[in-house]
Chains A and B, each alone.
Chain A
Amino acid sequence: MIRIEGTKFGAVEVDETAVIRFPNGLVGFPAETEFVLLERSGGKLVGYLQSLRTPGLAFPVMDAAQFDGYPEPSLSELASGAGLPTDDLAVLVIVSVNPQTKLLQANLLAPLLVHVASRTAAQCVLDPQRFSATHTLADPIALAKARMEAAKARLAEGDAAAKVAAGA
């Protein structure tokens, strides 16, 4: 087992076989070549890619399978360009919060390709004319409506705790 002290999640223990290697690091983080995926349940995130080298460094990631026709060019083409085997690939995208809208956004410009069998990975950069590094995950109006409906439903139930939450 590998023990990482002082991560944003406290001390974490992971199996050596769970390590994902990025031979070239991430873009802007060339020295960060070893990560583990700390899985997370609930919400849209798959989990956090936790650096083994820098305990304070982790990237929230989600599965890219929900984006139709993504990525482009094809996975095998991207993998070959990144020096990865062209089969058995998973695609993750890094997620962040838009500082203005406070909505989740995904970095579709630079997905993470993971060769599952060898646990080798690379961050690829796609065509910036087609993909955004700050792709909003929810339409703000739809999201606001959904929240309002949820709040109304709770008020109708006469749930006192929900009234406080909706008023806040």
Chain B
Amino acid sequence: MLIIRRRVGERIVIGSNIEVTVASATKKMVRLAIQAPKGIPVLRGEVHDAVVAANVAASEGMIELEFIDDSSDGEDEASEESHDSD
């Protein structure tokens, strides 16, 4: 991992089209100004992680979902099936 010291107002450039400028800094917090092309998402790390977790969970719980989706919305189908079994 690359670690760089920067002063307020200084920039780093990632690739040819992403720029990160240190806008301000205190002892506990830095404010970064980020310029990236459209289509390159810039996310806070914890938000990114939350979306990854939601995506992973959704792709893993599918069988259960099939069942719950049917029972929550398919009342008509369920009663038809019970008649068929008579």
Q: Which of B2-10, B21-29, B67-75 contacts A (4 or more CB under 8 A)?
A: B67-75
Tell me whether A12 is interfacial, beta carbon within 8 Å. no
Interface residues of B in 11-65 (CB under 8 A from A): 37-39, 41, 43-44, 47-48, 50-59, 61-65
**Inter-subunit contact A104/B72 (CB<8 Å):** yes
**Inter-subunit contact B65/A29 (CB<8 Å):** no
Interface residues of B in 65-86 (CB under 8 A from A): 65, 68-70, 72-75, 77-79, 82-83, 85-86
**Inter-subunit contact A44/B72 (CB<8 Å):** yes
> Which residue of chain A is the closest to B39 with respect to CB atoms?
A83
Count A/B pairs, Cβ under 8 Å: 120
In the bound complex, CA of A60 to CA of B39 (Å): 24
Size of A's binding interface in residues, CB under 8 A: 47
How far does the Cβ of A7 sit from chain B's closest Cβ, in whole Å?
A: 11
**Inter-subunit contact A60/B65 (CB<8 Å):** yes
Chain A residues packing against B (C-beta within 8 Å): 8, 23-24, 26-29, 42-45, 48, 57-60, 80-83, 94-97, 99, 102-104, 107, 109-110, 122-125, 128, 133-134, 138, 143, 150, 154, 159-162, 165
